[in-house]
Structure 1
């Protein structure tokens, strides 16, 4: 009997949870990766009509360049075995930042970012490499973002109970470790993130949801569910502010979706408050005095003087009549 009660309770909780959960937004399939070598698409960057991605940990150092049909049109490779590549971020025309930032055991003394050129061709390069160090010990991170206006890099740690957003120095040095600086609370269990083209907002995703933040204030403006994916990892923002989502797995799909209406509205600046028209103030007038006093009206004096003259003239006429 108890088992039945518990089973019914569990079923009811699932129904209630499904009913209360917001519906996932609509998304369209852009393409499926055709390259059998792309098996764990982790980071994602949109560069015009091209899509850049990297495999999760365990792959060699390489970036895949894919067109809108899903066909790989170029691979940039470099020597050496990365520790755990997890993320990508735009680095300017023809270049992309590769984040070797994964650290599941939280045991790395530092993480690495590489500035890698790409193109519609296969090439072997020696990318510029920069070492980053957290100010508060090791963290696992799968999110690397670049401010489109300044190029400054940001790393968001992947923590179950809320990550941290770290800022890298604006000018990175290849000669010594670059110390990261904690600037804001991050998205819990973040798997990727991207700035919007305006440079005033960015989005960070997890496996099933995402959130939009203001920049440079790092204020969380809105959160929203994402379309169902086997293991949603990558997110990128296109020039049209549309979101592109990737997932791990061979022949996985890249999805495209618009930002939900509520999230888009939260990103709009507040409407200006109309300036109230001041009410004119009437100053009380003091009683006139001295030279500043207004002229008194003359008609009472004229009326009084005329009446006195008429009375006096009548009296004189009567006196003359009596005398004669």
Structure 2
């Protein structure tokens, strides 16, 4: 009985955390290419460039990023830089021909700081000296897999990968000589594995393993939610200059998919800060308006079973 209880205890939490949420069919995904390089086995971050994407493997790899031709899936460039990697988990645009690489993973929540590096990408192999900056949370360590870069200001943001996601802002100007303190901004999608700004700078999309949510920026009003197409372990998301949304997955030879995430109209709210916006009006056809009940019903049922078995076990021991 005790063994069965032990096995069932995580069930309600896993159901609540990992279920996609919206009771609608996943949006379709069209394959663009598959990674042909066996060195890309755990694509965790994704940035879209001109005819290429940039990706990075997560924990266990060295300080390197891959530039991949979107017409073939072939690696056309690898950039390496100084230092040792801890747990690369995210990329974000950093200007023409450069990306921010987020060494921000912390599964054990034990790191006293995380870091970001500004690294050039492109065709051809190169080794560079990349400016690197330490980041510290104001409330203790967090695991994170999402790094965002505001296209209007260049400011960096980190999303903690937790049941209730928390968005943190880096200082507007990073100091290379001392830790840069992150500041809390707001609550967002839970268990986020990646995110990106849209080209308009007025919307941002976050994803987890099965769902994507679009928010207004900087208001962080949720305007749409979508179930994503099934992937082996979908983690990456990027938005190209033309608005195309790309999804990547871990696994050797993984496909990169193109999906359509239409942006609902959003209107300014009364008294809101400049640039903030309200969610689009809810309609029966809007996935964001669907009542998300089944994951929590399943979790409640699993929790009830666990409680019942626990009660039976206690009763037997007392008898």
Settle same-fold status: TM greater than 0.5: yes
TM-score by length of 1: 0.75
Gap runs ≥5 in structure 1: 1-16, 273-324
Aligned counterparts, 1:78-93, within 5 A: 78-93=81-96
Where has structure 1 moved over 4 Å in runs of 4 or more?
A: none
Partner of 1:48: 50
Query: What CA distance in whole angstroms lies between the structure 2 residues aligned with 1:271 and 1:200?
Result: 12
Task: Give, in angstroms, the shift of residue 271 of structure 1.
Answer: 9.6
Match of 2:152 among 140, 149, 152: 149
| Residues 109-132 of structure 1: CA deviation (Å, up to 9, x unaligned) | 010000001120100011000000
User: Given the two structures, how large is their TM-score scaled by the length of structure 2?
Assistant: 0.76
Equivalent-residue separation in structure 1 for 2:124 and 2:244 (angstroms): 27
Q: How many residues align?
A: 250
- Deviation per CA, 1:173-198, whole angstroms, max 9, x where unpaired? 00111000000102100000000011
Question: Is this contact kept in 2: 1:157–1:186, CA < 8 A?
Answer: no
Instruction: Give unmatched runs, 5+ long, in structure 2.
Output: 1-18, 270-319
Match of 1:255 in 2: 257
Larger Cα-atom Rg: 1
| 1:32–1:252 Cα contact (<8 Å) kept | yes
Map of 2:266 onto structure 1: 269
Query: Which residues in structure 2 correspond to 1:152-163 (within 5 Å)?
Result: 152-159=155-162, 161-163=163-165
Cα RMSD of the aligned pairs, angstroms, is: 1.8
Distance 1:253 1:208 in 2: 16
Contact 1:44 1:235 in 2 (8 A): yes
Task: State how far apart, in whole Å, the 2-side matches of 1:83 and 1:186 are.
Answer: 25
Query: Per-residue deviation at 1:21?
Result: 2.9
Q: Secondary structure at the match of 1:156?
A: strand
Between the aligned partners of 1:83 and 1:104, the Cα distance in structure 2 is 11
Separation of aligned partners in 1, 2:268 and 2:254: 42
* Residues 223 and 266, structure 2, Cα contact 8 Å, conserved in 1: no
Q: 2:73 aligns with which of 70, 74, 82?
A: 70
